[in-house]
């Protein structure tokens, strides 16, 4: 697959792509890896008085984080002719979306925003329910087909609501047993269900 296309698809899957629109030019940017973003933040904090180093770091963040320029650069030198603030603004936004916020208030607001957006995402909810029922991690599900996801989701719902018995053999079918209720001292029949958690083949 075309590396640009695969990078696009990866970014969309991770929900880590953003579009930044200036009046005459737009940029598609991706979030940096967490440790990379944190390293840039530390270096910027330490060297905030070293203006030319700050500029070089911003240039670097821009070059790593920008996936596409619209309209595209015609020449490699076009970067140098961008308005100065565009690079600084884009680099600042890339860092903001890539690293944890500086204050607890910002963190809470980011958390609430993400929580609200995930709640609207049905496919994500389905993934979480599948992972609750089976021994999968959410990322294991990323290369599944839609039909497989839907099938496992239906199975997961049955398991979690106690409607499905996943048994290996007949000895694990529900057994009826009589016990004595310790409070009333009366005999009562109970049914034991065996639910095995594991990855369906």
Task: Give the residues lining the site for another protein (CB under 8 A).
Answer: 11-12, 15, 17-22, 28, 51-52, 54-56, 59, 79-89, 92-93, 96
Identity of the residue, 21 or 45, whose beta carbon is nearer to another protein in the bound complex: 21
What is the H or E stretch that residue 66 is in?
strand 66-70
Does residue 97 contact residue 114 with C-beta atoms inside 8 Å? no
Tokens representing 177 are 């047993």
Identity of the residue, 102 or 181, whose beta carbon is nearer to another protein in the bound complex: 102
Residues in CB range of 54: below 8 A, 6 or more apart: 44, 47, 48
Least CB distance from residue 37 to another protein, whole Å?
Answer: 16
Identity of the residue, 45 or 168, whose beta carbon is nearer to another protein in the bound complex: 45
Residue 190 phi/psi, 5-degree rounding, is -125, 155
Least CB distance from residue 127 to another protein, whole Å?
Answer: 19
CA terminus-to-terminus distance, the chain? 29
Least CB distance from residue 128 to another protein, whole Å?
Answer: 20
Identity of the residue, 109 or 132, whose beta carbon is nearer to another protein in the bound complex: 109
Least CB distance from residue 124 to another protein, whole Å?
Answer: 15
Residue 98: CB atoms within 10 Å:
22
């Amino acid at each position: 697959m075309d590396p640009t296309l695969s990078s696009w698809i990866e970014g969309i899957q991770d929900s880590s792509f953003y579009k930044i629109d200036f009046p005459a030019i737009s940029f598609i940017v991706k979030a940096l890896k967490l440790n990379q973003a944190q390293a840039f933040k530390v270096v910027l904090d330490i060297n905030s008085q070293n203006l030319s180093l700050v500029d070089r770091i911003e240039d670097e963040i821009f070059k790593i984080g920008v996936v596409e320029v619209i309209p595209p650069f015609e020449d490699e030198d076009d970067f140098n002719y961008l308005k100065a603030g565009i690079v600084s603004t884009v680099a600042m936004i890339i860092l903001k979306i890539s690293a944890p916020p500086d204050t607890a208030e910002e963190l809470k607001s980011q958390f609430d925003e993400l929580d609200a957006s995930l709640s609207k995402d049905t496919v994500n909810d389905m993934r979480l329910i599948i992972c609750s029922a089976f021994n999968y991690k959410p990322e294991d599900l990323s290369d599944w087909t839609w039909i497989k996801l839907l099938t496992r989701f239906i199975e997961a719902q049955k398991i979690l609501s106690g409607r499905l018995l996943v048994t290996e053999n007949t000895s694990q079918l529900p057994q009826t047993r009589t016990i004595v209720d310790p409070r009333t001292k009366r005999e009562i029949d109970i049914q034991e269900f065996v639910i095995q958690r594991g990855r369906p083949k």
